Chain A
Amino acid sequence: NAGVMQNPRHLVRRRGQEARLRCSPMKGHSHVYWYRQLPEEGLKFMVYLQKENIIDESGMPKERFSAEFPKEGPSILRIQQVVRGDSAAYFCASSPQSNEQFFGPGTRLTVL
């Protein structure tokens, strides 16, 4: 029973490039959450998705960031035109329903 999978684990991008972060939830889980962890800080909620629907995106920056969770395949967090301030660890979590969340290992994004 595999846990939440995220890839890549490490991603390096130059300013202005696009970053795509992927998250495969645990089997049977239809709820996906994305969080961002900046250095020396706790995790901050970004977006909550169910299959094909964005339920709550109150934590997403208004520009350059988008997320999807298609009917088939992993959830994708997309950051366009990355800037140095986007450097962080991005964690995905999944749950079978809106309760306990299980976290993936994270993707560490470095913007040069």
Chain B
Amino acid sequence: AQSVAQPEDQVNVAEGNPLTVKCTYSVSGNPYLFWYVQYPNRGLQFLLKYITGDNLVKGSYGFEAEFNKSQTSFHLKKPSALVSDSALYFCAVRSEAGTALIFGKGTTLSVSS
């Protein structure tokens, strides 16, 4: 069965420090991996995706993620956090043959000034 795990309910970082939001997945075959961000009472905004190619993917707002096949991980990273990055982050996966996205439970990122 396909699944996504985001082991941390909350991540706290100080502004200017690097941040990492963790994600591991389980899927049959090649994974299609995505990160979305959700601000309060808003929909999900697409950040980045991995389909194939370079394991390091760069996305919106300075975020990047690294696909690690051996560890089945797709951690989200940013070199220098901003207070405005504070939001709820979702990792999602689908199989190459699938259609629906399988989401993790989300990680709340809190960046303090």
Report A's interface with B, CB cutoff 8 A: 4, 6, 33, 35, 40-45, 48, 55-56, 58-59, 91, 93, 98-106, 108
Contacts and interface: CB of A to CB of B under 8 A. Distances in A.
Contacts of A98: 99
Given A45-B101, A100-B34, A103-B44, 6 more contacts: A6-B43, A43-B90, A45-B100, A58-B100, A93-B44, A106-B43
Contact of A102 (B46, B102, B104): B46
Nearest to A6: B43
Given A41-B105, A42-B90, A56 B42 contact: no
Contacts of A58: 100
A25 to B, nearest CB: 13
Interface of B: 4, 32, 34, 36, 41-46, 49, 51, 90, 92, 99-106
Contacts, number: 55
B43 A103 contact: yes
A105 B106 contact: no
Which one of B36, B101, B104 has the greatest number of beta carbons of chain A within 10 Å?
Answer: B101
Which one of B41, B49, B99 has the greatest number of beta carbons of chain A within 10 Å?
Answer: B99
A99 B99 CA distance: 8
B43 A56 contact: no
5 nearest A-B residue pairs (beta carbon): A45-B100, A42-B103, A103-B44, A105-B43, A103-B43
Contacts of B104: 42
Nearest to A55: B99
Given A100-B34, A100-B49, A43 B103 contact: yes
